[in-house]
Structure 1
Amino acid sequence: MKLLRVFFTVSILALATQALAEFKFVITRGYDKPTSIAVVPFCWNGTEVLPEQIASIVGSDFSRTGQFSSLAPENMLSQPCDNNDVYFRDWKLLKQDYLIIGRISQLPGANSYEVIYRLYDVFREQNIQSAKVTGSKEQLRDLAHAIADSAYEKITGIRGVFSTKIAYVTLSKESEKSTYRLEVADADGYRAKTLYQSNDSIISVSWSSDAKKLAFTNFEPNGKTRIKIVDRFTRKVETLPAYPGINSGASFSPDGKTIAFVNSQTGNPDIYLMDLESKKITRITKHWSIDTEPSWSPDGKKLLFTSERGGRPQIYQVTLDTGAVERLTFEGIYNARAQYSSDGKYVVMVHQDGGPFHVAALDLATRQLRILTETDLDESPSMAPNGTMLVYATQNKGRGVLAWASVDGQLASIMPAVNGHVREPAWSPFIR
């Protein structure tokens, strides 16, 4: 498919965060013929002004993928609320592929709202999906993301990730004093909240498989590192035992019972496992070189890690039940921060071959390596749980920012930071 470079901005207000006052997604590379979709403003019979415009959120979700273009309401020939009001000729004249309409009602005697929506295939003139979702006023944004997820899956056959979360670390400086914050926001950047704050570096953020907790490494004033786990809802922080040497790079196992982490109690960094209940640790790698950055396979049977045992940082894979180690990367002088895709068919990583640092994907069947990004100084790639997209950290005008790329290499977008720096992104699993 021939690519068309497009530059447009979707402004997004990020709430409850100091380092990022506003998010702006700038799509820098997109599909040449995005699928067109019209999301009609949902009808609302109440007298109060709703705090969230559900149709606008749904349309923005679709637009942000780069696969879809959402029609602006002012360009619509009609704005139907119900099935009987849909005239397909209007939407065919506007060359729309899909149409979403809806109605919002407040349930009697409760702070609860019901949203009924319908998805249409305009070309076939068919209602291909109808559903009802309910929630409180505070959950209207969640309902919008749920609608977008469901409609996206119906159209593409791929589960949507609009209801997921993005964790990241912000760095701001005031009077030469650094403040690091571990933040969690919706996938579109809204509703950011601080889970943990420190005057010392926070790195290596990892989600638990149930998306309830995050593990991270926190430096201490004395230069030592500690692994901590924070509950996303209560913000309660657990500090794991400090074993001699480095303690860093924690990664949750798929069942949530174990973490893989890096420890240097024998003199050089190796990969260990820690049982989170007993806190018992087991050494996995034993090599004179540096082994670091462990990451679990989806089935929990293997770990990726970065090692210099071949002379330069490269990606290796260890099978846990046998201890067998296999080198995966041979292209480039630097490969690090690897993560499996959700189906285990490929690995994404930071790659360098004498030039800038880019994010790349390695097909585990063919062993072909593809560069996915065109930005420089890329780091910390993290996969979306549906395996189609990834978020990573990069530099833009001297600031650390977040950026997105599709695994097929056709979409790229960036979110410039307004204040401070953003780094260490981690995309959540599906929210259950």
Structure 2
Amino acid sequence: MKFGQHSTASDPGQGFWQRLPASLAAVLLVLMAMISPSRSDAQLKVDISGVGARQYPIAIADFNGDPAGALIADVIRADLTRSGQFRLVNATGAGLGVESVIASEEWRAKGADYIAYGSVGRLADGRYDVKYRLGDTVKKTNLDGIAFSGTEKELRRIAHQIADRIYEKITGIPGVFATRIAYVLKQGSTYELQIADADGQNPQVALRSREPVISPAWSPDGSRLAYVSFESGKPVVYVHTLATSKRVPVANYKGNNSAPAWSPDGNTLAVVLTRDGLSQIYVVNASDGGGLRRITRSPLIDTEPFFSPDGRSLFFTSDRSGSPQVYQVGLDGGEPKRVSFNGGYNISPRVSPDGKTLLTVTRRDGAYRIASLNLATGSETLLTEGSDDQSPSFAPNGMQVLYAAVQGGRSVLAGVSSDGRVRQTLSVLNGEIREPTWGPFLH
């Protein structure tokens, strides 16, 4: 059975159900040839539109001392701007260091309720010493201050960490600027699984193959990626440890092995197998593929599993009602409960970290868009306006959504705030970006 209208067996990188021929759903990922990480030449460009319902006015001064202070401030400004929740106040020429006394009234007069500033110095071993402060000009108090040290290559990471602290101190919600994303980049006949900073910078190639690469899935601790490789002539699910490039096949049964999804504790993977006929959902041990256990039993297609945040149930896509819809089933089996009812086509379920919101790809008027469903009330919001938006993934704080879109005839990486107000597009000069997934908080 084919649920979509434009499947292409030769190129499983196109949208999910649409692209999937008979080989079912999430059959994914990629690999190979180059298992050692290497630097990619493709740099992502970010375009942003829209603002949040509330914007916090803040000034970010260049950090005093070393010239690297300007880079740090630029990264922080870009991070906060990308969230759509901050309005930047010009701080050119402020000349503030960590020992500076902040003239709160002057900054208030300029429209800044908050000001971030700092200094950068060089340590004896050549590393950088980065100190930062965050001031509240309304309450005339210091909200935050911390020191970091790192190499030149680590300055962007330090800047992201500072932006995360600013975001959390002001909004009360953890920031995600220091997290990572993974996606597939198709260039010509080559597929690369890339890992990059949340802003798309510093892309690294984790896997490269002439075979299709799709649907990576992060482990909860961010140390591993699960994926499916076609290198052996059929889809096989692997778990790949990023630090060592070691990988283990965890599902290699007859037929298709696809759609890996991690349990919240990182010990179990839900996978889709056709070993007993049509695609059904199973769970296996994430370490070695042992402990195979079947979860769903249906005469039709069950696929695209995703664990609930408490780890007790799975959301999945099934056509058991006559059209693709989202269902939920306990890990102990039992009768699945239908979750999606808006429209005749809802696939690719992804649940927010707090368990309150469900993302789906929904078909409306012939277009595929990302929808957000309140699980308590059943109310739905269409977050995107594209013609072919696919593969939604929540940020670990639940405030943003990453997805694959088609713009100008090619696939790009896009993002939208969870309320649909702020949109961004990350694109590369050459190649198509597919199958994005947002990594967890790094501790």
Q: Same fold (TM over 0.5)?
A: yes
Which residue, 37, 48, 63 being the options, matches 2:58?
Answer: 37
Alignment of 1:259-278 (within 5 A): 259-278=269-288
Structure 1 segments unaligned to the other structure (5+ residues): 1-14
Q: Which stretch has the larger CA shift, 23-32 or 415-424?
A: 23-32
In the alignment, which residue of structure 1 is the partner of 2:108?
Answer: 92
| 2:167 is aligned with 1:156 | no
Q: Is contact 1:333–1:354 with CA below 8 Å preserved after alignment?
A: no
Superposed displacement of residue 66, structure 1 = 1.0
CA contact (8 A) 2:250 2:284 kept: no
Quick one: which amino acid aligns to residue 72 of structure 2? I
Letter in 1 for 2:415: W
Q: 1:189: how far off?
A: 1.0
The answer to whether 1:384 aligns with 2:395 is yes
Give the corresponding residue for 1:405. 416
Which whole-Å CA distance do the structure 2 matches of 1:277 and 1:235 have between them? 15
Amino acid at match of 2:420: G
* Aligned positions of 1:171-250 closer than 5 A: 171-173=186-188, 178-220=189-231, 222=233, 224-250=234-260
Q: Between 181-190 and 240-249, report the one with greater CA deviation.
A: 240-249
Q: Which one of 319, 322, 338 corresponds to residue 311 of structure 1?
A: 322
Matches of 2:349 and 2:314 in 1, distance apart? 10
* Runs of at least 4 residues off by over 3 Å: 49-52, 71-74, 82-85
Q: Say which SS state the counterpart of residue 202 (structure 1) adopts.
A: coil
- Letter in structure 2 aligned against 1:248: S
State the 1:284 CA deviation.
0.5
Deviation at 1:114, TM superposition (A): 2.4
| d(CA) in 2 for partners of 1:52, 1:80 | 12
Distance 1:189 1:73 in 2: 26
Asked whether the equivalents of residues 399 and 417 of structure 1 are also in contact (C-alpha less than 8 Å), the reply is no
Correspondence 1:339-354 to 2 at 5 A: 339-354=350-365
* CA-CA distance at 1:415 after TM superposition: 1.6
- Cα deviation, residue 221, structure 1: 6.5
Alignment of 1:327-366 (within 5 A): 327-366=338-377
2:367 counterpart SS class: coil
CA contact (8 A) 2:62 2:69 kept: no
Which stretch has the larger CA shift, 213-222 or 268-277?
A: 213-222
Matched residue count: 405
Equivalent pair of 1:295/1:303 in contact (CA under 8 Å):
yes
Aligned match of 1:9: none
Which structure has more strand as a fraction of its residues? 1
Residues 353-409 of structure 1 deviation map (CA, whole Å, 9 limit, x = unaligned): 333111011111111111111222000000000011110000010110011111112
Residues 23 and 415 in structure 1, CA contact (< 8 A), matched pair in contact too: yes
User: 79, 95, 106: which one pairs with 2:122?
Assistant: 106
Rounded Cα–Cα distance in structure 1 between residues aligned with 2:286 and 2:143: 46
CA drift at 1:241:
4.1
Is the contact made by 1:399 and 1:421 (CA closer than 8 Å) also made in structure 2?
yes
Looking at structure 2, the residues matched to 55 and 353 of structure 1 have their Cα atoms a distance apart, in angstroms, of: 42
**Equivalent pair of 2:43/2:201 in contact (CA under 8 Å):** no
Contact residue 204 and residue 248 of structure 1 kept, 8 A: no
Q: Report the alpha carbon displacement of residue 73 of structure 1 after superposing the two structures with TM.
A: 4.5
Aligned 1:29-68 pairs, distance under 5 A: 29-31=50-52, 34-44=55-65, 50=68, 53-68=71-86
Give TM-score scaled by structure 2 length. 0.87
User: What's 2:97 paired with?
Assistant: 81
- Does structure 1 retain, via aligned residues, the 8 Å contact 2:225–2:239? yes
Counterpart residue number, 1:3: none
Aligned to 1:323, the other structure's residue is in SS state strand
Q: Match for 1:26 among 41, 47, 64?
A: 47
- The residue number in structure 1 matching 2:17 is none
Q: Is the 8 A contact 2:75 2:160 kept in 1?
A: yes
Cα separation, 1, equivalents of 2:325 and 2:167: 37
**Shift of the alpha carbon at 1:32?**
6.7
CA deviations over 1:62-117 (Å, ceiling 9, x no partner): 1111111334543x5x3211344422233223211210010122333x24332221
Out of 35, 40, 46, the position equivalent to 1:17 is 40
Once residues 354 and 375 of structure 1 are traced to their aligned partners in structure 2, the CA distance between those partners, rounded to angstroms, is 11
Please give the alpha-carbon distance, in whole angstroms, between the structure 1 residues aligned to 2:130 and 2:435: 36
Output the CA distance in 1 between the equivalents of 2:365 and 2:381.
Answer: 16
- 1:257 maps to what in 2? 267
Tell me the distance in 2 between the aligned counterparts of 1:43 and 1:51. 6
C-alpha deviation, 1:229, in angstroms = 1.9
Q: Residue by residue, what CA displacement relative to the aligned partner does 1:288-327 show, whole Å, maximum 9, x if unpaired?
A: 1100111111111111110000111100011113533100
Counterpart-to-counterpart distance in 2, 1:304 and 1:417: 33
- 1:134-164 Cα deviation digits (max 9, x unpaired): 2333322111111111111000000000110
CA contact 1:331–1:353 (8 Å) conserved in 2: no
Q: Which residue of 1 aligns with 2:140?
A: 125
* 1:252 Cα deviation from its structure 2 partner: 1.3
1:369 aligns with 2:380: yes
Distance 1:83 1:272 in 2: 58
The whole-number CA distance in structure 2 between the counterparts of 1:170 and 1:287 is: 35
Q: Give the TM-score, by structure 1 length.
A: 0.89
**Is the aligned partner of 1:136 residue 2:163?**
no
Give the distance between the partners of 1:31 and 1:320, measured in 2 at CA. 38
The SS at the match of 1:154 is helix
Gapped regions of structure 2 (runs ≥ 5):
1-37
For residues 149 and 31 of structure 1, the distance between their equivalents in structure 2, rounded to whole angstroms, comes to 17
